[in-house]
Amino acid sequence: MLGAITGDIIGSIYERKNIKTTEFELFSPRCCFTDDSVLTIALADVILNDRNYADVMREYYRRYPKAGYGGMFHQWAKHPNAEAYNSWGNGAAMRISPVGYAFDTLEEVLKKAVKYTEITHNHPEGIKGACATASAIFLARTGRRKQDIKNYIVTNFGYDLERTCDDIRPTYRFNASSQGTVPEAIVAFLDATDFEHAIRLAVSLGGDCDTLTCITGGIAQAFYGGVPEIIAEKSLSILDEQLRMVTVEFIKKYDA
């Protein structure tokens, strides 16, 4: 989970100002956590404390109302009885990483990913993106090779993972859809040689940068066995105390 938060923080300043290069200061002074981290940590809170995710998301929304949520989520979060809004956006995939760490079988991971996604993103593409992300994290943390992860995602979700970052980068633009973000994030993970390289590749693609990098970071952490200590410490220092407490508790329980 900390990998996803790290990706969000590092990518936060490039969402509207893509840079298309891997050469950049890893943590700019302007880096901050966004809705990606807030809702990821809200899900960690739910899993840790067996709480209702809809209630907790609205609670975190009230606590961090200006974190950068999408317009449809704003409307959903403001109304306690609002129903899912059939979203195919990438917001479900960005927040799902705790599921990939907290459950013991792939079947349970997929079941929980659907449960926590369809509260808002009940469109098939929204659900598919979250399930693909959570399953990639589970497979990575349980020792599968990159080729095995790639084969599973292609077979079960139909994403095009034959491209490389160099193929994607020249024409890729802002895309808030799940189907236009999750495959690119997975390609950045597949192309990388280590955790930091994965983050740099994801940033270099552009697009909805903080969300794409959040998804990549969650998978890369699982595959490479953690976030490098100096990067992890910096990410935790950027969170406020409440978010940091939940994150640290989840890391201690699930090694995430």
Spatial separation of the C-alpha atoms in residues 47 and 161, rounded to whole Å: 31
pLDDT digits (tens, 9 = 90+) for 68-77: 999 999 999 9
Q: Does residue 252 contact residue 46 with C-beta atoms inside 8 Å?
A: no
pLDDT, position 76 = 97
- 209 pairs with which residues across the strands? none
Please state the φ and ψ torsions of residue 59, each to the nearest 5 degrees: -60, -45
Q: Once rounded to an integer, what is the mean pLDDT over residues 128-144? A: 98
Using CA atoms in the order 225, 223, 235, 201, what is the torsion angle rounded to 10 degrees?
140
pLDDT digits (tens, 9 = 90+) for 36-95: 999 999 999 999 999 999 999 999 999 999 999 999 999 999 999 999 999 999 999 999
- Topology of domain 2-72+83-254 in CATH is ADP-ribosylglycohydrolase fold (1.10.4080)
pLDDT, position 178 = 97
Is the pTM higher than 0.85? The answer reads yes
State the chain's mean pLDDT as an integer: 97
Confidence grade of residue 256 (pLDDT, cut at 50, 70, 90):
confident
pLDDT digits (tens, 9 = 90+) for 161-195: 999 999 999 999 999 999 999 999 999 999 999 99
Q: Does residue 123 contact residue 85 with C-beta atoms inside 8 Å?
A: no
Domain boundaries, given as residue ranges, for the chain: 2-72+83-254
- One-letter amino acid at 17 equals K
Q: Does residue 60 contact residue 41 with C-beta atoms inside 8 Å?
A: yes
With pLDDT > 70 as the criterion, what percentage of the chain qualifies?
A: 100
Spatial separation of the C-alpha atoms in residues 68 and 95, rounded to whole Å: 14
**pLDDT of 16 higher than 90:** no
